[in-house]
Structure 1
Amino acid sequence: MSSIADNIGSVTRRIQKATLKAGRDPDSVRLLAVSKTRPPEDLRAAFEAGQQAFGENYLQEALDKIGALDDLDGIEWHFIGPIQSNKTRQIAEAFAWVHSVDRLKIARRLSEQRPESLPALNICLQVNINNEDSKSGCTLDELPELVSAISDLPNISLRGLMAIPDPDQQESELRLSFRKLAGTLKHLKQDHPDAGPLDTLSMGMSDDLELAIAEGATWVRVGTALFGARAKQQSLS
């Protein structure tokens, strides 16, 4: 049975191979370890193997891990789950990145509640790229107005877009979804030059990271390929 360190090495090699095949700098893509439902000791093992960025979906679980691993200098916490309005303060205080902002109300609260002592909170806007009823995210039509409004908020840095395309799509359809998100970011950057860096595409997971990288991903969110299949988990807040 492979270790977490072995898995990180394997995924890192996949990322490097995919970036080189796409004619990109291998350092242009970062690995986000999706660590929801994983115990702190798994994250510690991953950190000791060189992994620094961890993505969490459930706030209370994440806060418990942040406390348990506060001795790890350089660990970087990303919130990647749906956001309830009453949870924004703790998210604003505890995380370096939020990938799942899908409406102005949430962005405004994160801006207002980000401590002045911390750097600007990096955020990505989550896009419902395939217009699925079961998925969170704003629509492509809503994005320009949302970007304009968010660009005026202090204490946050609008880094780019995140999407979770329908995994049941054919490979060609999945590639088109990634390409659509990349094209959308390009146009937003042209139309809203002062909105923020707009340099980030958070897309691609264990089974499709190569496709995502070929279409411009800068963060790939990988859980299963690093930690193994998850046991069934009850919903956590």
Structure 2
Amino acid sequence: METIAERLKSAYQTIKQSAVDAHRPPNSVKLLAVSKTKPVSDIVQAYEAGQRLFGENYVQEAVSKIQALQDYHDIEWHFIGPIQSNKTKLVAENFSWVHSIDRLKTVQRLNDQHSAHKTLNVCIQVNVDNETNKAGLAVTEVLDFAQQVAQLRNITLRGLMCIPKANTSAEEQQQSFATMAGLFSQLRALYPEVDTLSMGMSDDMGLAIRHGSTMVRIGTAIFGHRA
């Protein structure tokens, strides 16, 4: 059975090869290790293997991990799940990044509750396939929303995030990723600080990288299936 360190090494090799195959620099894609539901000991193993970016979905679980690992000063914590209004303060105080911004009220609360001495990096979540049961903005809503987010003092708009529809054909996946790539290009042209397209997971990261992803969110391929 492979160790977390071995699986992490394999994931990095896959990312680098996918970037090269897409005629991109091998270091142009970051790996966000999704550690939700996994114990602190798994995060430590990944950290000891060189991983520094970790993504969490559940606020209370994440905060307990962050507190347990507070001596690991160079960990960069990313929140990638839905945010309830009563949890924005915890997110603002504990995370460097939020990938799941899709409501103005939420991002305004994060702005007001985040430390004025540093900015909170955010990505707008896009419901690229218009699924009724999934969070995120419609593609046509993103640019207007971005204009509002960009005005907030303690928030830095860094890019976009999406979770494409599951169990679709390769052609449908490709169309979703191509749509995101086009939207990302439009956003970058408007805001020079935008540099992040959070797109692709364990099963589709190669295709996502081919379409310009700069950050892939990998959980299962590193930590194994959730119990």
Range class of TM-score, shorter chain: over 0.9
SS at match of 1:181: helix
Structure-1 residue corresponding to 2:80: 80
Unaligned runs of 5+ in 2: none
Q: State the AA in 2 paired with 1:201.
A: L
Structure-1 residue corresponding to 2:212: 216
**Does 2:126 correspond to 1:148?**
no
SS at match of 1:149: helix
Unaligned runs of 5+ in 1: 232-237
Structure-1 residue corresponding to 2:195: 199
> How far apart in 1 are the matches of 2:213 and 2:101?
18
**Does 2:131 correspond to 1:132?**
yes
Q: State the AA in 2 paired with 1:112.
A: D
- Report the TM-score, using the length of structure 2 for normalisation: 0.98
Deviation for aligned residue 1:173: 1.0
Q: State the AA in 2 paired with 1:206.
A: S
Q: Which runs of 4+ in 1 moved over 6 A?
A: none
* Superposed counterparts of 1:24-39, under 5 Å: 24-39=24-39
Deviation for aligned residue 1:189: 2.7
> How far apart in 2 are the matches of 1:67 and 1:94?
9
Deviation for aligned residue 1:73: 2.6
Backbone CA RMSD of aligned residues: 1.0
> How far apart in 2 are the matches of 1:96 and 1:38?
20
- 1:175-231, Cα deviation, whole Å (9 max, x unpaired): 1111101101111233x34xx512110010001100000000011000000011101
Structure-1 residue corresponding to 2:122: 123
* Superposed counterparts of 1:1-237, under 5 Å: 1-117=1-117, 119-190=118-189, 192-193=190-191, 197-231=193-227
Structure-2 residue corresponding to 1:234: none
> How far apart in 1 are the matches of 2:15 and 2:135?
27
- Report the TM-score, using the length of structure 1 for normalisation: 0.94
SS at match of 2:166: coil
- 1:12-55, Cα deviation, whole Å (9 max, x unpaired): 00000000111111221000001000000000000000010000
Deviation for aligned residue 1:141: 1.6
- Percentage identity across paired residues of the two chains: 51
